Each structure stands twice: as structure tokens, then as C-alpha cells.
A and B are shown apart, each in its own frame.
Chain A
């Protein structure tokens, strides 16, 4: 199983100018597993997530998703930059959910969901609508299909965003602090959808501050600080018995 993980990141380095945000990050996520990234803000966890689908290009290391090197093609020892078209094709298989939802405000909920399948994967509109309605039903929002995102609550918007990502039938889902912009009473509905998704066998990488979610749903936990992974392992073990002093002090603040 470990021979063909869903995500394999080796020695990832990312710099913004002279500022090194990621310093030698190595992470492996197996198929069907839920990996949670926690850590203080500015620790580089969101940046790392964005490197996985090549929204940010990396400056060092190698990153494979489902066995494919992201953003580059390797021939012999040489790396060749991929064309934007090829990168788009790679991204189409990786779903991403953002902290600020990023639904398209000028499109209805349904239009948001069918946009990428019809334009990128050339799915027939009728089929795309049928899939979209199924997904909306799954996140409990079928009755909001014709509504513009601006008329929805934050929790509803985020559930639509999840449905939109799922409409591309991704093999991997990335969640970038999906509940951080939500009012406390709306967090639960989004986490419930994510739990359901995890139970259905989706491979997920989740940047989150929801320690409870990490403990309950996570198969592995990575604690990042200052651009490195300080500690990792089984969430229940790491959370109950953190070895590193920085992990301990972070957990004492958020728990």
C-alpha cells in the first residue's frame, strides 16, 4: 500500500522572496486516509496545501499526487515545467475548499457546481445538473439550487463549495481551514459533511483548528511550526501525549 500513496511530498521547500515559508517538508498520505495539518498561523500549513495542487509552485523537493509529479515532467535527471494547460488538467482531479468559500457570486448555486464539469470536463449540461442535484442533496441544500451564494449563510456556502469541488469527481480533497470563517454555531454542519465524505473513503488533507475533528476523523496528524513538521503520527496519540515542547504549548492554547 505504501508503494502507491495518494500524496507523496519529499523535502518541499517554498520561498516567497527571501522568506523561506516551507523548509524541508516531507509528508505521505495514503489512499482513503484523512490527514490533518495543525499549527499556529504563519506556520506554512496553508502554503503547503496550496503547493499540493500547484496553486503555488515549489522551490525545492518533489511532490507526487497519485504517482504523478505535480507541475513538472521528469525526463532522465531533467525537470521540465508543464504548460498551464497540463497543470490545469492535474488540478481538475484535486478538489479544494477554501476558508472564505470563494463561490462565484454572479452564478447561482447550481451554476457554481456545473461550471467546471461542463467547461473543463465537457460533461453534458443535463448530466452535470443531475450530478449537481445529487451532490446538493448530499450536503442538504437541494432546495437552494436556484439561489445566489450571497443569500446563503456561511455554513451553507461552504457546503456548496464542497459540493462544487466534488462535482469534478476528485481523487483527493484539500481543505484550507474550512470552518475558520464560520460562526461557531455553523461549524458543525460543515464538519458533518466532511465526516461523511471521510467515511465514504475520500482521501482528504485538512488544514484545521478543529482539534476535535482531527481526533475523531483523522488518520494522521501533522503539527507544523515555522515551516517544518515538528511532530506527526496518530492524532489520538499526538493529541493525548505530545512529545515536543512546541506541540505541547500550542495544544495547551487551543484545547
Chain B
């Protein structure tokens, strides 16, 4: 600051530095080129016959389409909730000391990750045919306690939810496991040293901390699930967005405009989900971000003490998530 050599150029003081900004000619050129390309594409698309924009406008808010979008969203949310719960259970089983639970979890993952979701959905659709009736009784005797046709009365919608959730649970299990493993061992030790049980340690200490790592890839999975719902026609369910738009386009002999309609709705729903993810991440980053930034030197965290906790939490949140995502993806 008080370097005497600089004083010939500019008076050194605590006044803000006035300097000519560094220019980035390449960056500017590139931006201009991209802008031109985008304009050209949009202009072309707007005037091209094949897109049939009037049809897009006509069907975008068609009642059948909006209903289908709502069903797609419901399908996504319900199957994800079920998948997250199942994934949590599977991950905890995999990490437990119990070899039986470990083996069950491993086998589940092997089966449901090892086969295509489309194939699984076809199987779910056929369950009613394969298991016309199920009898509970004593094997090799005529004793039967009751007989039921379990899949006969299940709505196709719920079958789709189950089919999607059972597949997704296998992936969620690995995401949750990664999150749990990311929590430092010392946390588990500190909790146990305080006399907390395994259950309390998991629910109160480990899982809440792992959420920070679990949420970003789970957001990915939710968005991926939104699009995977378009596969549930495999088990005969046809009220979701993609099947609905295909059906309409077949009626009116117009494929492209309805594909655009479907894409717009998928994008819209994805955007809504991303907003939700942002707030979840912010919540689970509480208390953690400032420490993470200076983890190697705990004493430096003192400098954060002056900052409002909420303020740093929000600012540091996205930062933290970015690093954790890098580690686990």
C-alpha cells in the first residue's frame, strides 16, 4: 500500500484504485457471433412452416394437455417421495452391521439397477396377468388362509407410481449412501460418545448433515424422473403428458407442434422444481457453509462471526453445493 515506487504513477493512499479495465477482445467477438447465430435460428424457426406455430398456440393450454401435465407432475412427485424413502432405508441397510440387511439391499440394487426401467415397467403392467391370484397358506397342503387377486384392482396410475419408484429407489439408495459417507466419522463418534443410540445418531446427526450432499443429485433425479414418466405407456398408462400429446398429434396429423407443446410443459415443470431445490439447499446449508470454507483452519472462522449467519448461509450455499456435487458425481 505504501510502496514508494508506485507513488510516481499514482498517489498511494486508501482511496479506491482507478485503473483501465483489462479488455477481452476474444470474449466480445465470441459473444457477438453467438448472439447472431441465436437471432438467425429464432428468425428461421419463427417463419418456418413445419413448426406450425398457430397449432402450438392452440394446444398449449388445451385442457387435455394441462391435465396431462398435472398428472405427469403428480406421478413424478409421488414416485420420487416413495423412492427417496425406500432409498434411505436401502442405504441405511447397506451401511448397517447386519449382514442380512446388507445382502438384501445389495441384491435389490443389483436387480433394479441392472435391468432397464422400460422392461421393469412392462413387467409391472403384466403383474396382473402373471399373478392372477395369490394364496396364502401352508405349502404342499390344501390349507389356505386366504386368496386374493392383488393386482386386479390396482389403478394403472398407482402401478406406474410403484414401477417408477422401485426403479428409482435403487439409484436414490446410492445417492443417500454417498451422502451418509460424506459426513465425517467424528460426527458419529461424538454422538455415540454422548450415549446416543444408532437410530438417534442416524436421524439426528448423520442424515441431516448428509442432506447437503444428497439434495443436488436428487434434484437431478427428480428432473430425470419427470422425463422418465413418459415411459409409463409401457404398462398401459396413457394419461401423462407425452402419451397425451402423441395421441392428439396422431388425431390431427401434426407431430412437430405437439412435440413443442410437450417440451414447453416439461421445461416449465422442470423450472418449478429447480426453484424448489434452491430453497431446500438453502435450508440444509444452515450453519455449515462458513465452516466449510475455512475447514482447514478452524480459527479463521472467527472472521465470519461478524457476518449475519443467514447472509453467509445463502451466499455460501451454492458454493458448497458445487464442491459436493463434484465429489459425488
- Knowing A55-B192, A106-B209, A106-B288, the reply to whether A183 touches B197 (Cβ < 8 A) is no
Chain A proximity of B293: nearest CB distance (Å): 9
Chain B residues lying within 8 Å of A152, measured Cβ to Cβ, are: 301-302, 305
- State A183–B305 Cα separation when bound (angstroms): 17
Give residues in A with beta carbon < 8 Å to B. Answer: 53, 55, 84-85, 88-89, 91-96, 98, 100-108, 115-116, 119-121, 147-155, 157, 161, 164-165, 168, 181-183, 186
The 7 A-B pairs at the shortest CB distance, nearest first, are namely A92-B195, A150-B291, A148-B287, A102-B190, A116-B194, A154-B298, A96-B193
Q: Looking at the complex, which one of A91, A102, A106, A186 makes contact with B287 (CB distance below 8 Å)?
A: A106
| Chain A residue with the shortest CB-CB distance to B200 | A119
Is A89 within 8 A of B205, CB to CB? no
Is A55 within 8 A of B197, CB to CB? no
Q: Identify which of A89, A102, A150, A183 gathers the most chain B CB atoms within 10 Å of its CB.
A: A150
Chain A residues lying within 8 Å of B298, measured Cβ to Cβ, are: 101, 153-154, 157, 181-182
B198 located at the interface, meaning its Cβ lies under 8 Å from any Cβ of chain A in the complex: yes
Chain A residues lying within 8 Å of B287, measured Cβ to Cβ, are: 105-108, 148-150
Chain A residues lying within 8 Å of B288, measured Cβ to Cβ, are: 105-106, 148, 150
User: Which applies to chain B's interface (DSSP): helix, strand, loop or mixed?
Assistant: helix
Chain B proximity of A103: nearest CB distance (Å): 8
Is A119 within 8 A of B304, CB to CB? no
Chain B proximity of A174: nearest CB distance (Å): 8
Chain B residues lying within 8 Å of A96, measured Cβ to Cβ, are: 190, 193
Is B193 within 8 A of A94, CB to CB? yes
Kindly state the interface size class of chain B when it binds its partner: 20 to 34
Chain B residues lying within 8 Å of A55, measured Cβ to Cβ, are: 189, 192-193
| Chain B residue with the shortest CB-CB distance to A91 | B195
Chain A residues lying within 8 Å of B116, measured Cβ to Cβ, are: none
Is A102 within 8 A of B186, CB to CB? yes
Chain A proximity of B156: nearest CB distance (Å): 41
Q: Identify which of B194, B196, B198, B208 gathers the most chain A CB atoms within 10 Å of its CB.
A: B194
Chain B residues lying within 8 Å of A88, measured Cβ to Cβ, are: 192, 195-197
Is A120 within 8 A of B194, CB to CB? yes
9 contacts between A and B (CB under 8 A): A88-B192, A88-B196, A91-B194, A106-B286, A115-B196, A120-B195, A152-B305, A153-B301, A181-B298
Chain B proximity of A191: nearest CB distance (Å): 16
Is B305 within 8 A of A53, CB to CB? no
Chain B residues lying within 8 Å of A104, measured Cβ to Cβ, are: 187, 190-191, 205, 209
Q: Looking at the complex, which one of A89, A98, A108 makes contact with B195 (CB distance below 8 Å)?
A: A89
B2 located at the interface, meaning its Cβ lies under 8 Å from any Cβ of chain A in the complex: no
Is A119 within 8 A of B196, CB to CB? yes
Chain A residues lying within 8 Å of B189, measured Cβ to Cβ, are: 55, 98, 102
- State A155–B302 Cα separation when bound (angstroms): 10
Is B194 within 8 A of A92, CB to CB? yes
Q: Looking at the complex, which one of A91, A150, A165, A181 makes contact with B301 (CB distance below 8 Å)?
A: A150
Chain A residues lying within 8 Å of B290, measured Cβ to Cβ, are: 148, 150-151
Chain A proximity of B200: nearest CB distance (Å): 5
Chain A residues lying within 8 Å of B198, measured Cβ to Cβ, are: 84
Is A115 within 8 A of B204, CB to CB? yes
Chain B proximity of A170: nearest CB distance (Å): 10
B289 located at the interface, meaning its Cβ lies under 8 Å from any Cβ of chain A in the complex: yes
| Chain A residue with the shortest CB-CB distance to B291 | A150
Is B209 within 8 A of A53, CB to CB? no
| Chain B residue with the shortest CB-CB distance to A156 | B302
Chain B proximity of A164: nearest CB distance (Å): 7
